Structure 1
Amino acid sequence: MRWSILLMLSATLIGSSTPIVKSSTDNPIAVGANFDDQSPNSVQSVQIFDPFTYFPLDQRLVKLNAISGGSDQIRARLVKADIFINNRQPKEAIAALNQLEQSYPLLADYILYKRAQAYTQLGDRQLANATWQALISQYPDSPASAEAMFAVGQNEQLLTKFPAHPRSQDLVLRLLSQNPNRVDLLLHLVTYFGDYKQIVPIADRLMASSTKLTADQWWSIAEVYYKNWEFTKAATAYSRATVNPITAYNYARSLQRSDQDATAIAAYNRVVQQFPQSPQAPRALIRLSQVASPQNAIAALDRLIANYPDTASEALAIKAEILQNKLGSPQAASVVRNQLLEQYGNSNEAGELRWRIAKGLAKSGQLAKAIAAVDNLIATSPNSLDAAEATFWAGKWANQMGDKTKAKNLFEFTIREHPDSYYAWRSATSLGWQVGNFTNVRYTAPAIAIPSERQSLPAGSAKLQELYILGLDRDARSQWLTELAGKKILTPKEVFTDGVLRVASLDNLAGIRALESLDWIDVPAAQKAEIPKLKQHPAYIRSLYPFHYWDSILKWSQERQLAPALVIALMRQESRFEAQIRSSAGAIGLMQVMPETGAWIASQKGVKSYNLDSPMDNINFGTWYLDYTHSRYGNNTMLAIASYNAGPGAVGSWVESRGIGDPDEFVNNIPYSETRDYVSKVLGNYWNYLRLYSPTIQQQINTLKH
C-alpha cells in the first residue's frame, strides 16, 4: 500500500501518470559528435552551449532567462534549476523543472535527482522520498540513482552498484567512523578513492592488517603511496602487486627515490627484460643511467640508443655529460654531442645544446656568432624547449648591436611560435605592446573577455558530455568517476577528460597536474600521437588558466590598484586555486599567507576577526600584501613578486648589493632558485591570462601568424 502511494505521488510530481521517456532519436537535445573525426570526409560537429560559468550569479540568471526557443532553452531550465538548488531556492527550482524530462530525456534521470533535491530543501519528506524511489526504479543504472540510494539509506546497493561514485566515499567514511577496522571498507577507499586527502593512514592500516590481499589490491595500495611520495612503502606494496610495465617501473622508481640504488638497478633491468616493447623500457634505461656506475650508465645508454630511437637524443645528451663530468673525457663527449646534432638535430636535446653554445658565445662578447647559433637552432629545432628563451635573448643581443629589424623578427618569432612562454611576454614588452613590463604591470589591465561555452570532451558517455556542456560540473564529475570505475591506467583522452572535469569541479591541483602530465607521460606511440590534437581542444588551455574566484579577485584588485590578471596569476602559482591548501612551511589558502604575516596584516588594517581559510579574507590579505611589496620597491612588479616569495629583506639585500641593472639579468641571477623560478612563472601566468582572454592582445598575436 505504501509503495502504491509513493508511485502515485511520483506520477504527480513528474507531471504524468506514465513517465514519458522518448527514444534517443526523438531527443531534441542533439548529442555532439565524438571529438575524433570518424572519417576523412565527415564534417566534425561539436556540441556547444554557454552556461556562463564564470559570470556572477545574478548575471548568469539574466542571461539564462534571455534564452528563448530550441534546445538551449530546455538546457537553460535545467541550469537555472541547479542554480536555484545551490542557492536554496527550492520553489524556483521546482518550477524550472516542471515536466522538463518530457522534452529532455537524455537527462531525465538528473532532472528527477534535481527535483528530489528541491523537495528535500523544501522540507517535503514525502514528495522527496517518492522522487528518490522513482529515480531508483526508473533509472537503476544511472549514477544519479547513487544519490537516491544514499538519500534513502540503501547502503549495500550503493556500494555494490556504484562503488566509484562520490556518495560511496561519503558512505564508506561514515561506516568507518562507526567501525574503523572493517578491511572491506578500507580496501574500498584505496581501490576507488586513492586521492582522498587522508588516504595514506588508510593504506597504513591495510599494510598493518593480517588480511591476505590480492595482487590488484596491493597495486591500489602501492599507487596511494607512490602518488603521496611515500616511496619506501610504495616499493613494498609494488613488490606484491600485479606485474605489468607500469607497476614494474614504479617499483624500480620507488626504490631509487627511497635511496635503495642497488635494488633499483636490478628492478630497472627487469623492466627492460620483461617488457622491452613498453614505453617504460626506455624510461627505465634513462633512470638506470642515473643510479649505475658511470661505465654501467654508458652501457645502459648505448642499449637505449641502439634500440629506442625515439629516446636516443635524450640518451646521447646524458652520455655526453657523463663522459665530460664523470669520466673526464671531453673529446669523447664532443664526439657524442656532434652525433646528437647530426643525427637528432631537431630534438629538444639538440636545441638545448645549441642554446648552450649561443650563451657561451654571447658571454665572450661574440654577439653576432651567438645570434647565428640561435638562427641555427630556429632552423633545426624551432619547437625545442629552449627555443623561446634563446630567440628572446637573441633579440636582445640584436638590439644591442643596433639591428632593430633582426630584433623585431626574433621577438615576433618567440610570440608566434611559443605564445605560452614567459619569454613571449618579455618579447611583447620589447616590442612595445601594452602588456606591462617589470616596472608597471600592476597598472596594466587590458579588458578581459571570459569565454565559458563548453564543447564535447574526448572521452565519456553522451550523458557525461551533456552534463559538462551545461556546466553541471559536480554531476559531470560523479558521472565520470562512475564510468571510470576505479580504472588505474588511463589513456591520454581519459587523462585529458579527467583533468578538465577536476578543474571544473575545483579539484584544481590534481586537475592541472593531470593536464600538464600530457607533456611527459610515457604511453604507446599511437596514444602519444593523439596528444597534440587533444591540446588543441579549447578546454585544455582554459582549464590550465581558469577564472576561479574571479569576483573576489576583481573586487580586491580594484581596491588595491592591482592588475586582476597579475593577482590571479600569482594565485595560480601559489595554490592552484585550492582554498584549503597548506604549504610545508604553514602558508594558508589561495594566496598562501603565512599565519604570522596574516596577523601583521590584520594589525596594520585594524582587523580583529579574520579567517585565512576563507577565500574572501585570504584574497583580501594577499592583495594587501602584494600592494605592500609593490610599495616597498617603487611599484616594480618584478621585485614585488620576488619579495612576495622570498621576503622583503632578501630582495632588499640583492638590490643593495648589485643593483637592478638589466632586469632580465637580475631575474636570471636571483640567488634563490625557488624565487628565480617563481618570478618567471607568475609573470608567465600573467601573460597567459592576457593572451588567452584579452581581445586586444589576441588581435596583436593574430597579426603575427602566417
Structure 2
Amino acid sequence: MLKGKVTQVSLYVVAAVAALLVGIFFPMMQLPKIWSSRTGEMSEVSQPSEAVMSLAVLSPASRRQELEEIATTRTTSENRDRARFLLAADLLEAGQPEAALEKLDGLERSYRVLAGHILKMRALAYEQLGDTRLASQSWKALVDGHPEDPVVVMGLYALGETNREYWDRAIAEFPAHPQTVEIARTLLRENPDQFPLLLLIAQHGIHLPEYGTYLAKLTQNYQQQLTPEDWENIAFGYWEKMDYAQGAIAYSKAPKTPRNMYRHARGLWLSGKIPESRRAYQELIAAFPTQTDPGGEDAGLGRIRLARLVEPREALPLLNQVVDNFPNHAAEALLERANVLDKLRSTETASQSRQLLLSQYSDSEPAAQLRWTLAQQGATAGRLDLASEWARQLITKNPDSELAPQATFMLGRWARQQGNSQDATKAFEYLLARYPESYYAWRAAVFLGWPVGDFTTVRPLSPHVEHLEQLPIPPAGSEAVRELYRLGRGQDAWNLWQVEFSNYRQQPSVAQQYTDGLMRIAVGDNLDGLWMISSLSRRNDPEEHQEYLALKQKPGYWESLYPFPFLETIVSWSNKRQLNPVLVTALIRQESRFMPSIKSVVGATGLMQVMPETGAEVAQKIQLTNYSLEDVEDNVNLGTYYFDFTHREYNNNSLLAVASYNAGPGAVANWVRRFGFNDPDDFIDKIPYPETYGYVKSVFGNYWNYLRIYNPEISQKLAEHIRTFNDRFD
C-alpha cells in the first residue's frame, strides 16, 4: 500500500531480486500461486508445466530448492526437463560443472526442443573442468547431430579455433548468428582486407558498439565492389544508428524503390541539406506518380514532406495531388492544405478543406488534430462550452487518437471550471477506464482522490510493488526461441533470434517487432528494445494497427515496457535520500532507458544522465572519490543526491523538482515567477521548453504506469473500476 510518511522502502520485484531486499524480508510465496497484475488477484498456475516458467524470473539462489524438487519428484516430464535444464544453467554459471553435468545427463533425449543447447552446456561444463577431450567430443556431437540448429555455431566456433574449416562453415551456413559475427571480427583483426567479412558485419553486426566503423571502412575502401543491394543493407544500418547523413548517401545508391528514395530524401532533410532534400523528393514523385504504384504510400508521404519545403503556392498542387490520388494520406494532406491556405489568406478555401477533412475523414488522426486545435482555440477565447464540444467530438469520433486522453482530461477540467463537478467526475472516470496507460489517467486518479500522490505529496510515498508473473510468450520465433526466453535464458534466445529475424529486420511484422523488442531487453539493450515495442503505436496499416491494439491488452506488453532493472541499487539510494523509489525509477526510465553507459550529446552520462561537472560537485560534497558515472552504484548515488537537491529547492514539489532536473533550477525559478503555480496542470501547459514539457509528462506517466502495473492496491482498484465502468455501459 501507499504510505503517507517516509518509511523503509518495500519494493519487491522478484524478476530482479530475491526475497531479501533493503533489510526487509518478505516470505517467498510458494508456487504455484502467482500475482496477476491483470486481475489484481493471487491465482493458481493453471498448467503444471508452467511452474518452472514462474520460477525462471527469480534469482538462481531463490529458485534452487523449488527447482530441485520439481526435477526429482514433481509434476510432468516436461516440467522436470525444464527444471533440470535451468538448474544446470545456474550451476554452470556458478562454476559447478560436475553438478551441472549430473543434471544434463541424458536430458537431450527427452528435452528435444533444446537438445542442441543441452549439448552446448555439456561441452562448456567439460571446458570448465579442463577436460579438452570430452569437451571436443561434445562439440562434435552438437555439430554432427544438429547441423540445422543455429546453436551449432557455438560448436563450430569452438572447433574452429584449431581447424578454421569449421569457421568457414559457420560463415557459409549461419552468417547472422552473433558468434559468426565474432568469427568475422576475429578474422578481420588478422587481415582487415576482407570484403566479404565486412559485408557480413554490415548486414548482421548492427548490435556491435563499433558497427559504424565497419560501415565506414566498407564504404570508403570498397565502393566499386558494392552492389545496390549491398548499399541498401548499409543504408539500413546507418538509419538504425540514426546517422541520417550517411544513410541518405547510402540510400541514394540502393535500388530505386519508393522506400529507399523516400529515406534518401528524408535523410538529407534530417541532416540539414534542404535543397538536396527537395530535389530528392522531386525524383521520388517523378518515379512513382500514383497510389497504385508499388510503394505508393511513400510517394504520397513524399509529396506532403516536399510541400513543407517549398513556397505555399508551390505546395498547393502537391497537396492536391495527394488528396486526389493518395487516399491513405488524403486526410493529412487536407490538414496541411488548410494551413497553407491560411498562410495565403484564403480563409474561405481553408475552411472548406477543414470541413472536407471532418466530413470525409472524420475518424483519421489529422481530423483529431484539427478538433483538438479548435478545442484549444475555444478555451483560449474563454468559450469553454465550444472547447468542450470539440473535445467531446474528438473523444467520440477519434477514440484511438493519441490526443483522446488529453481531450478527456481537459473536458473534466473545463467542467470543474464551469462548476459542473458531476460532469467532471464522469470525464475522469471515463479517462481511467478507457485510457488507463496515459499520463492523464494519473491526473484523473488524483482528481478522483485515489491514493497515488499528487505533485506536492508524491515524494514521501513508499509504494509497494510486486511482480511474480512469468515472462510473456513471444508472439514470433521458433519454439526454441520462446522456450529459452521464457526460461530466462535471454542471451541464448537472442542469439537464435538473430538468425530467424535476419530476413525480416527491415520490414518486420507487428509480432516480429514486438518479439525483437523482448529479445533486446533480455540482453540489456533497453534503449532499442523499448523503442521497438513503443514504436508499434506508429503502425498505420489498419490490420497492423488492430494487431497492436490487441497486443496492448496483454499484461506482458506493459510489463515489457516498464521493467525494473538495477532495482536493489535504485531502492537503496532512494531510501537513503528519502525519495519515492518508483518516481526515481520513472525518472531513470526517461533519462536513459536503464542504459548504464549511455551518453548524451552534451556529455550527460549513465542511468540518471549526470553531467560531469554536476557529478564532480556532488562527489566533493559527499566525499565520494574514485567514482565513475558509468558505474550503476556511483551514478544513482550522485543522481539521487541531485534529485533530492531539486526537491529541497522547491519545498518537495516533485513537479518543479522533475522539471528542474531536466531544465535546471534557474529556468524553473523563472517560470514560477512568470506563470505562478496556482494550477500545476496550467503551469505544465505553459512550460516554454518543448523538451521539458514532454519530459515532465513522461516521467509522471512512467510513475503512474509502474503503479498501475505493479502496485497491488492500485492495480486491483483500477481493474475494479474498469469492470464497474464497463458493466454500467454494457
Question: In the alignment, what sits opposite 1:515?
Answer: 533
Question: In the alignment, what sits opposite 1:167?
Answer: 179
1:602 equivalent to 2:619? Answer: yes
Q: Using the alignment, how far apart are the partners of 2:112 and 2:462 within structure 1?
A: 45
| Cα distance change on mapping 1:538 and 1:124 into 2, 3 Å | farther
Give the secondary structure class of the aligned counterpart of 2:289.
helix
1:620 equivalent to 2:637? Answer: yes
Q: Using the alignment, how far apart are the partners of 2:263 and 2:352 within structure 1?
A: 34
| Cα distance change on mapping 1:440 and 1:85 into 2, 3 Å | farther
1:700 equivalent to 2:717? Answer: yes
Of 145, 150, 156, which aligns to 1:143? 150
| Cα distance change on mapping 1:47 and 1:193 into 2, 3 Å | farther
Q: Using the alignment, how far apart are the partners of 1:53 and 1:438 within structure 2?
A: 37
| Cα distance change on mapping 1:546 and 1:207 into 2, 3 Å | same
Q: Name the stretch that deviates more: 466-475 or 514-523.
A: 514-523
Q: Using the alignment, how far apart are the partners of 1:77 and 1:308 within structure 2?
A: 58
1:125 equivalent to 2:128? Answer: no
Question: In the alignment, what sits opposite 2:510?
Answer: 492
Of 75, 97, 102, which aligns to 1:69? 75
Per the TM alignment, residue 439 of structure 1 is displaced from its structure 2 partner at its CA by 0.9
Verify the 8 A CA contact 1:194 1:223 in the aligned structure 2: no
Q: Using the alignment, how far apart are the partners of 1:648 and 1:54 within structure 2?
A: 41
Question: In the alignment, what sits opposite 1:589?
Answer: 606
Of 484, 492, 495, which aligns to 1:478? 495
Give the secondary structure class of the aligned counterpart of 1:95.
helix
Per the TM alignment, residue 496 of structure 1 is displaced from its structure 2 partner at its CA by 1.7
Of 181, 198, 204, which aligns to 1:192? 204
Of 266, 288, 296, which aligns to 1:272? 288
The structure 1 segments of at least 4 consecutive aligned residues displaced by more than 4 Å after TM superposition are: 45-49, 51-54, 525-529
Verify the 8 A CA contact 2:395 2:407 in the aligned structure 1: no
Of 210, 222, 226, which aligns to 2:239? 226
Question: In the alignment, what sits opposite 2:592?
Answer: 575
Of 671, 678, 685, which aligns to 1:654? 671
Q: Using the alignment, how far apart are the partners of 1:355 and 1:527 within structure 2?
A: 25
1:90 equivalent to 2:90? Answer: no
Verify the 8 A CA contact 1:574 1:592 in the aligned structure 2: yes
Q: Using the alignment, how far apart are the partners of 2:92 and 2:287 within structure 1?
A: 52
Question: In the alignment, what sits opposite 1:50?
Answer: 53
| Cα distance change on mapping 1:73 and 1:562 into 2, 3 Å | farther
Map 1:446-465 → 2, pairs under 5 A: 446-465=463-482
Give the secondary structure class of the aligned counterpart of 2:288.
helix
Between Structure 1 and Structure 2, how many residues are aligned? 661
Question: In the alignment, what sits opposite 1:157?
Answer: 169
Question: In the alignment, what sits opposite 2:417?
Answer: 400
Verify the 8 A CA contact 1:222 1:237 in the aligned structure 2: yes
Q: Name the stretch that deviates more: 239-248 or 474-483.
A: 239-248
Per the TM alignment, residue 186 of structure 1 is displaced from its structure 2 partner at its CA by 1.2
Per the TM alignment, residue 537 of structure 1 is displaced from its structure 2 partner at its CA by 4.1
| Cα distance change on mapping 1:672 and 1:316 into 2, 3 Å | same
| Cα distance change on mapping 1:608 and 1:566 into 2, 3 Å | same
| Cα distance change on mapping 1:395 and 1:607 into 2, 3 Å | same
Question: In the alignment, what sits opposite 1:212?
Answer: 225
Per the TM alignment, residue 296 of structure 1 is displaced from its structure 2 partner at its CA by 3.4
Question: In the alignment, what sits opposite 2:520?
Answer: 502
Verify the 8 A CA contact 2:258 2:288 in the aligned structure 1: no
Verify the 8 A CA contact 2:120 2:155 in the aligned structure 1: yes
Map 1:108-507 → 2, pairs under 5 A: 108-153=115-160, 154-210=166-222, 211-257=224-270, 258-259=273-274, 260-270=276-286, 272-273=288-289, 276-278=293-295, 279-325=297-343, 327-487=344-504, 488-507=506-525
Q: Using the alignment, how far apart are the partners of 1:300 and 1:528 within structure 2?
A: 28
Q: Using the alignment, how far apart are the partners of 1:658 and 1:566 within structure 2?
A: 25
| Cα distance change on mapping 1:51 and 1:131 into 2, 3 Å | farther
Q: Which amino acid aligns with 1:678?
A: Y
Give the secondary structure class of the aligned counterpart of 1:449.
strand
- Give 5+ residue unaligned stretches, structure 2: 1-46, 161-165
Map 1:674-689 → 2, pairs under 5 A: 674-689=691-706
Per the TM alignment, residue 145 of structure 1 is displaced from its structure 2 partner at its CA by 1.3
Q: Which amino acid aligns with 1:290?
A: R
Q: Using the alignment, how far apart are the partners of 1:608 and 1:256 within structure 2?
A: 45
Q: TM-score, normalised by structure 2?
A: 0.86
Q: Using the alignment, how far apart are the partners of 1:555 and 1:123 within structure 2?
A: 40
Question: In the alignment, what sits opposite 2:561?
Answer: 544
Verify the 8 A CA contact 1:288 1:297 in the aligned structure 2: yes
Question: In the alignment, what sits opposite 1:78?
Answer: 85
Of 53, 62, 85, which aligns to 1:59? 62
Q: Which amino acid aligns with 2:103?
A: A
Per the TM alignment, residue 567 of structure 1 is displaced from its structure 2 partner at its CA by 1.5
Higher relative contact order at CA 8 Å, sep ≥6: structure 1 or structure 2? 2
| Cα distance change on mapping 1:402 and 1:60 into 2, 3 Å | farther
Q: Using the alignment, how far apart are the partners of 2:49 and 2:341 within structure 1?
A: 55
Q: Which amino acid aligns with 1:198?
A: E
Question: In the alignment, what sits opposite 1:8?
Answer: none
Q: Using the alignment, how far apart are the partners of 1:321 and 1:53 within structure 2?
A: 55
Give the secondary structure class of the aligned counterpart of 1:385.
coil
Verify the 8 A CA contact 2:323 2:333 in the aligned structure 1: yes
- Give 5+ residue unaligned stretches, structure 1: 1-44
| Cα distance change on mapping 1:86 and 1:440 into 2, 3 Å | farther
Q: Name the stretch that deviates more: 693-702 or 431-440.
A: 693-702
Q: Using the alignment, how far apart are the partners of 1:425 and 1:657 within structure 2?
A: 26
Q: Which amino acid aligns with 1:231?
A: Y
Verify the 8 A CA contact 2:136 2:159 in the aligned structure 1: yes
